[in-house]
Amino acid sequence: MTRSTNGFRVFAICTVCCLTIVSVAHLYLYEASEDAVARSMRYDIAWAGVNGRLEAAHLEKHVARYAALGDKKDADAARLFYDILRGRMELWGAGGFEQFIELSTKRQERFEALRDRVGGLAGDIDRLDEPDVQRRVLQALLEVAPMIDRIGGEAHTTSVAEAAAIRDELHHKQRLQRGLIIALLLSGAAFLVFMVLQNRSLRVAHLAAARQADELSFFANHDALTKLPNRRAFDAAFRTALESRRADEKIAIGAIDLDGFKVINDTIGHAAGDALLVAVSERLVSAATQLDRRNIVCRIGGDEFLALFWLADDTALALDVARQVVELLSQPFETAYGMMMIGASVGVDVSDAATSDELILNADLALTEAKAKGKGIALAFDRKMRAGQLRRLRIEADLDAALAGGQIVPHYQPQIDLASGCTVGVEALARWYHPELGPISPGEFIPIAEGSGAITRIGRLILEVACQDAARFPESIGVSVNLSVIQILKDDVVAAIRDVLAATGLAPDRLTLEITESVMMTDPEKVLNVLAQLKLVGVSVSLDDFGTGYSALGYLTRFAWDELKIDRSFIKRADSDPINLMIIRTVKELAQKMNARVTVEGVETREQRDLLRKIGCDTAQGYFFGHPVPVDELMPFLLRNNTATLDEGDAHPRAASSRLANPATP
């Protein structure tokens, strides 16, 4: 752009310089031609010379006739021609003729002599009646004639030569002028071309500037990646919507946040993260506008979106819409980087519940609450959430002190071999007794710790303490420790486990690591790699909460799982809906083929235990057998009851019938 502008500038300067030079040269030439023409006029001496000779001849003729015929008319004519001749002499002595005469000193002398001679005839001309005088005058005229002839002849020759020179000069100048006119025309044409080019480049520049201005105004209101409106545009649209809505219409604001997006970004890469965000935004927009064309979705940064939904006069609809969004975003995304899965949490609030400013804040608060509740859910705003937010902030702030102060410790829940009724293992579950807030459930503080990064320290602590404790258990008792996705993807969990096993002396085959299905959703390749390394260490790996996610089935065959832990929701619903029992049975068969044991969580009744025993599940865990308890409470039980058959649930610590419910467990 700059280079072409410079080119144009140089071109324009050259053209204007050419035009100026040609114009000045033309002016100069014009003046020179005028001068030559003037000179041609001034030097018209041939005529003056010829006239002089004619006048002298007429004088001589009339004097001679008068002398011969005595006619008075001839005398008068002679006098007249004499006067004319004298006048001619005056003319010859002035102006252009004088210049010609002065060109040669000899000629000047001859002219002086001639003038004197003519002047000297004046007296004789007055007395022309006398024959002597007539003879003298004729004699004098005979002498004067060649003198006049000579000067007149020279004047003629000079004049002709001068005229020729001027003609040549004029010719030359004419040629030059023709050249100049051509140069002028060419310069003019060049200038014209320049103007056309300049015009075109101006038009192009104008179009480019207009396009740039359009782009600038677009990106002032839109997100560059997803092309969705940005927060600024959303606020404006939201205000307009509030002003223009009818009394029977409501506006809901949904705050949407993707679950685990950061992990995708950190592990698969930003390009894949971007592709996922674009796919998410496309799906969101198409779904939102299908509900109502006026609905708006905007991206307010990272993996956070805000949506504006127009609703008929039914506040309950807002939560329905929010749940649809969660469901919609839990379906896999096809991107250029392959199939990706992500979850989403949504918070909503409806227009009549708050002022406009509060609406977005409330939706945001509901979102935070949804995230804290374990993600992947939609919540409508509730005033109590403000207190919930304060509590979460408090928990996050107190986590480090709790770790340092030993407030966070593992409790152990027994795992029972269903065939023999023996306790074969325990699951370590983190417990936090806060000095002011009292017991805080891991369901509450683990997600907060995952958000703040404290989970890696909590995870290590539980792992270390659980391994230390397990080393003191009877050898037949294994220990299961939960691993967070953050530990697997961020922390060097393999080295940590090796170190802990070495430090505690616990045999690797007594340690089982539980990872949830949702971990597989984030970066399956990396997770599978870490799991394979863990197997090399010799520990067992268990797929926790099996049946609650979407992704695990595909990865079931890609890793040699040692255990599948069926989520407690299946056994809970098994009484009311036999399909759940069928699922448990199918999973049991599947696990058998994979050489994995099946553990069922959440067994709370004898009937449930009997059912599972009948199906042939390997192990079970639940309040029927015992609540999670501190190690001191567990130890005597383990030592005493390790070989007991389990016909009575209350033979175990804080079993369902012992009424010693753990206050921290849900």
How far apart are alpha carbons 1 and 250 in whole angstroms?
52
Smallest separation (angstroms) from ligand C2E to the CB of 449: 8
Largest CA distance in the chain: 192
498/654 with CB nearer ligand C2E:
654
Cβ-defined contacts of 523-528 (< 8 Å, 24+): 523/263, 523/264, 523/267, 523/268, 523/489, 524/551, 524/555, 524/558, 526/267, 526/488, 526/489, 527/485, 527/488, 527/489, 528/555, 528/558, 528/559
Distance CA(661)–CA(629), nearest Å, equals 10
C-alpha distances in angstroms, 142 versus 62, 77, 103, 131, 159? 13, 18, 26, 16, 26
The minimum distance between CB 266 and ligand C2E, in angstroms, equals 18
Please identify, using beta-carbon distances, which residue of 55 and 567 lies nearer to ligand C2E: 567
With contacts defined by CB under 6 A, name the span among 12-20, 82-90, 245-253, 616-624 that binds ligand C2E.
Answer: 616-624
CA–CA dist 588, 563 (Å, integer): 10
Q: Answer yes or no whether residue 633 interacts with ligand C2E by CB under 6 A.
A: no
Name the binder of 430 from ligand C2E, Ca ion, none, CB < 5-8 A by kind: ligand C2E
Which range in 48-56, 109-117, 179-187, 602-610 contacts ligand C2E by CB under 6 A? Answer: 602-610
Residue whose tokens read 């310069």: 187
Output the CA–CA distances (angstroms, integers) from residue 214 to 206, 209, 210, 297, 299, in the order listed.
Answer: 12, 9, 6, 21, 20
Choose, by CB under 6 A, the member of 510, 568, 597, 652 that binds ligand C2E.
568
Question: What amino acid occupies position 202?
Answer: L
Assigned token pair, 616: 């042939």
In the list 335, 345, 368, 413, the residue contacting ligand C2E (rule: CB under 6 A) is: 413
Please state the closest distance from residue 487 (CB atom) to ligand C2E, in A.
7
Residue nearer to ligand C2E on the CB measure, 311 or 598? 598
**49 or 343: CB nearest Ca ion:** 343
Residue (134 or 482) nearer to Ca ion, CB: 482
Contact region with ligand C2E (CB under 6 A), list: 24-32, 291-299, 610-618, 619-627: 619-627
**Minimum Å distance from CB 601 to Ca ion?**
5
Residue with Cβ nearer ligand C2E (56 or 603): 603
629 and 423 in contact (C-beta within 8 Å)? no
Residue whose structure tokens are 């175990």: 652
CB of 483 to ligand C2E, least distance (A): 6
Among 623, 634, 641, 649, binds ligand C2E (CB under 6 A): 623
Give the footprint of ligand C2E on residues 288-307 (CB under 6 A).
Answer: none
CB of 514 to Ca ion, least distance (A): 4
Tokens for 469, please give them.
């404790």
Instruction: Please tell me the count of residues contacting ligand C2E according to CB under 6 A.
Output: 25
Q: Phi and psi at residue 472, in whole multiples of 5°?
A: -95, -10
Torsion on CA atoms 68, 72, 77, 82, rounded to nearest 10: 80
Cβ distance to ligand C2E smaller for residue 329 or 620 = 620
Tell the smallest beta-carbon distance from residue 498 to ligand C2E (Å): 19
Contact indicator for 573, 594 with CB cutoff of 8 Å: no
Residue facing Ca ion at closest CB distance: 514
Residue 349 or 618 with smaller CB distance to Ca ion: 618
Summarize as ranges the residues that interact with Ca ion (CB under 5 A). Answer: 482, 514, 544-545
Among 277, 311, 462, 615, binds ligand C2E (CB under 6 A): 462
The reply to whether 482 sits near ligand C2E by the rule CB under 6 A is yes
Rounded least distance, CB 664 to Ca ion, Å: 15
421 touches, from Ca ion, ligand C2E, none (C-beta below 5 to 8 Å by class): none
Contact 528, 558 (CB under 8 A): yes
**Contact partner at residue 619 from ligand C2E, Ca ion, none, CB < 5 to 8 Å by partner kind:** none
Span 526-555, contacts to ligand C2E by CB under 6 A: 544-545
Residue with structure tokens 């935004």?
A: 281
Q: Where are the alpha helices (DSSP H) in 424-551?
A: 442-452, 455-470, 485-489, 493-504, 519-522, 524-537
Cβ–Cβ under 8 Å, residues 371 and 447: yes
Identify what 628 binds: ligand C2E, Ca ion, none; CB under 5 to 8 Å per kind: ligand C2E
User: Binding of ligand C2E at residue 459 (CB under 6 A)?
Assistant: yes
Query: Hey, is 203 helix, strand or coil?
Result: helix
Cβ neighbours of 610 (radius 10 Å) = 11
Which one, of 7, 20, 28, 404, lies nearest residue 184 by Cα? 20
Lay out the site mask for ligand C2E across 415-454 (x = CB under 6 A, - = otherwise): --------------xx----------xxx--x--------
Residue number closest to ligand C2E, CB atom: 622
Q: Which of 95, 103, 88 lies closest to 38, judged by CA?
A: 95
* Residue 379 binds ligand C2E (CB under 6 A): no
The residues binding ligand C2E (CB under 6 A) are 413, 429-430, 441-443, 446, 459, 462, 482, 484, 514, 544-545, 568, 601-604, 621-623, 628, 665-666
